[in-house]
Amino acid sequence: MTALTSGALGQQIIDQVKRLRYLDSLEQVVYCDRWHEMPPASFDYHNQLDGYLAQLRHEAVTAPAVATLLAAAKKADLARTGTVYEQGAYRLLQHEQDEANRVPAALQTASANMDATGQRLWQEVHEAGDLTRWLPFVQEQFDVKTQWAQAAEPGVPVYEALVHRFDPEYSLAELDALFAQLKPAVHQLIAENHGMAPAAADEILTVDATPAQVQILCDKAQAMMQMDPAKTVNYRQEHPVSVSVGPDDARPSTTLAHGALFAVDCLMHESGHSRYNYGANDLVKQAGLWGGIDGALHESQSLFYQRVVGLSKEWWQAFYPEVQAVLPKYRQIAFSDFYAAKLALHIGPNRLDADELSYVMHIAVRYETERAYFSGQASVAELPGIWNAKYHDHLGVTPASPAEGIMADVHWGSGHIGYFQSYVLGIAYAAQFYHALKRDDPEAFPALAGGDMTRINAWLREHVHQFGQLFPPRELLRRATGEDLNPQYLIDYLKERHG
């Protein structure tokens, strides 16, 4: 994999892809600005700007010159004869054109505007759990996304088409089978769990910390992750996200609202996205294929750092002394007690501070709730009741209010509908990567206990990060691990930690 192109045609395809990526970058600048910088009164103008960028992208992809280029690539059989970079760029451009030809520009713009409106509305109403303002929006959002799905994949069930926006290689039947395999295994592990009692764990994990102390811990965690400071800018906000504006640009954020250790946990998740975003090799960057594959693969990298690493004994053997140095409370608490508290079950209505067993059930609830709506089994008005009933069935808890229930996550606001399966696929991929990494480099995790993540980062870069969007997700998984998705690795991983 040394040559970028085999000729002028491939170079033209790559040039076209790079122009699209510049537009992606502009969209990300605007998105980042809306989260972090924009004064509230600028919202409508931002929305117009977003709509115009969506229109520009649509025009760029549907231009006659692109059609000519793609026809020439088809004739030349570039998908088989091109370099791997040409093949990747060709596949991306063809996919973009197919979608743009099916989904009218006005519908793309309406969908993008709905996401911007929803993101702002969620920020205004979620704390109060104001369903009277939220549900009418959700109805509009679901209507637009239904139109989008019907245009993008006519004849395919609406929810499957929405899932395909993020995880194009999975059918609803496969996802149903995945949840059917995972749920009983997780239920059993929860039932048999003999870990630290939640109240005792809470007492250990709850700690007073100043913003400055939290900042020190966040900086130390990123240093141990070997984040590149030249490529990283950190933000603070309520709902952590990770934005990437270019191939050497990562903007993770975390929240200070839920305590020092939670801030580190969220930052490790978002920084995992960030490492994947800026980890592409030079030729992948030159082909415009940087940034990683959205959906399950991106979540696999965030969850690898947050859970596989961030809940490992080895990580805490290295990081706990840092915590003890910054927060005096922990100088009195033995490592074994602290680590048992980190692994304790934390079953409640909140996905973000869930333990990793009950986390699977949080994902199942939103997947099943969305699936019920889009298959016509429920109206929007019925969703809060369905949500609460599913929490009761799956986790034995009932959210006290919409704020800690159906409105706790921004996703329906920001347009991430048909997205939650990415989290469970992501942790399943992460567990499969973990298995392959330990097989390939048995010394990687022992080295982490000494504070050295070099070997773990090197494996992820070699097998995942460097390829950016070069391969389809399942092909990348097979190349990295030697097999297609096998959820048993997730069950094995959860048993190793919590069995």
Report the binding-site residues for Zn(2+): 269, 273, 299
Nearest approach in angstroms of CB 269 to Zn ion is 6
Distance CA 28, CA 241 (A): 12
Backbone region of residue 292 per phi and psi (left: phi > 0; alpha: psi in -120 to 50; beta: other values): left
102: nearest Cα among 138, 52, 67, 153:
153
Query: Is residue 301 a contact point for Zn ion (CB under 5 A)?
Result: no
Give the binding range for Zn ion (CB under 5 A) out of 41-49, 164-172, 297-305, 467-475.
Answer: 297-305
Query: Is residue 302 a contact point for Zn ion (CB under 5 A)?
Result: yes
Query: CB-wise, 272 or 487, nearer to Zn ion?
Result: 272
Q: Which residues are annotated as a binding site?
A: 269, 273, 299
Give the pair of three-digit tokens for residue 485.
Answer: 């998705």
Nearest approach in angstroms of CB 299 to Zn ion is 5
Tell me the three state secondary structure of residue 468. coil
Asked if 270 is an active-site residue, the reply is: yes
Distance CA 5, CA 86 (A): 6
**What is the β-pairing status of strands 242-246 and 249-254?**
antiparallel
Nearest approach in angstroms of CB 298 to Zn ion is 7
Distance CA 284, CA 145 (A): 32
Residue 255 is classified by DSSP as: -
Query: Is residue 481 a contact point for Zn ion (CB under 5 A)?
Result: no
* 136 and 389 Cβ atoms separated by less than 8 Å: no
Nearest approach in angstroms of CB 141 to Zn ion is 21
Give the binding range for Zn ion (CB under 5 A) out of 29-37, 181-189, 302-310, 428-436.
Answer: 302-310
431: nearest Cα among 341, 299, 241, 340:
299
Give the binding range for Zn ion (CB under 5 A) out of 21-29, 49-57, 298-306, 365-373.
Answer: 298-306
Distance CA 456, CA 275 (A): 12
Distance CA 118, CA 111 (A): 10
Give the binding range for Zn ion (CB under 5 A) out of 197-205, 209-217, 253-261, 294-302.
Answer: 294-302
Query: CB-wise, 27 or 299, nearer to Zn ion?
Result: 299
Rounded CA Rg of the chain: 22
Residue 199 neighbours by CB distance under 10 Å: 8
Query: CB-wise, 109 or 302, nearer to Zn ion?
Result: 302
Nearest approach in angstroms of CB 270 to Zn ion is 7
| Residue 319 Cα distances to 182, 236, 314, 335, 345, angstroms | 31, 22, 9, 11, 21
Distance CA 277, CA 245 (A): 9
Helix (H) or strand (E) run with residue 137 in it: helix 131-152
Give the binding range for Zn ion (CB under 5 A) out of 8-16, 228-236, 301-309, 470-478.
Answer: 301-309
Distance CA 375, CA 162 (A): 12
Helices (H) and strands (E) in the chain, counts: 24, 3
Nearest residue to Zn ion by CB is: 302
Query: CB-wise, 386 or 477, nearer to Zn ion?
Result: 477
Query: CB-wise, 302 or 312, nearer to Zn ion?
Result: 302
Burial of 404 (0-12, 13-18, 19+ CB in 10 A): middle
Task: Please tell me which residue in 86, 270, 322, 356 is annotated as part of the active site.
Answer: 270
Query: CB-wise, 234 or 302, nearer to Zn ion?
Result: 302
Nearest approach in angstroms of CB 242 to Zn ion is 7
Q: What is the DSSP string of 409-467?
A: SSHHHHT-TT-THHHHHHHHHHHHHHHHHHHH-TTHHHHHHTT--HHHHHHHHHHTGGG
Query: CB-wise, 14 or 365, nearer to Zn ion?
Result: 365
Give the pair of three-digit tokens for residue 199.
Answer: 């109240």
Query: CB-wise, 73 or 410, nearer to Zn ion?
Result: 410
Binding mask 83-122 for Zn ion (x = CB under 5 A): ----------------------------------------
Query: CB-wise, 144 or 225, nearer to Zn ion?
Result: 225
Nearest approach in angstroms of CB 41 to Zn ion is 30
Distance CA 359, CA 355 (A): 6
> Count of residues binding Zn ion (CB under 5 A)?
1
Nearest approach in angstroms of CB 430 to Zn ion is 11
Nearest approach in angstroms of CB 191 to Zn ion is 28
Give the binding range for Zn ion (CB under 5 A) out of 105-113, 230-238, 250-258, 300-308.
Answer: 300-308
Residues catalogued as catalytic: 270
Interaction site with Zn ion (CB under 5 A):
302
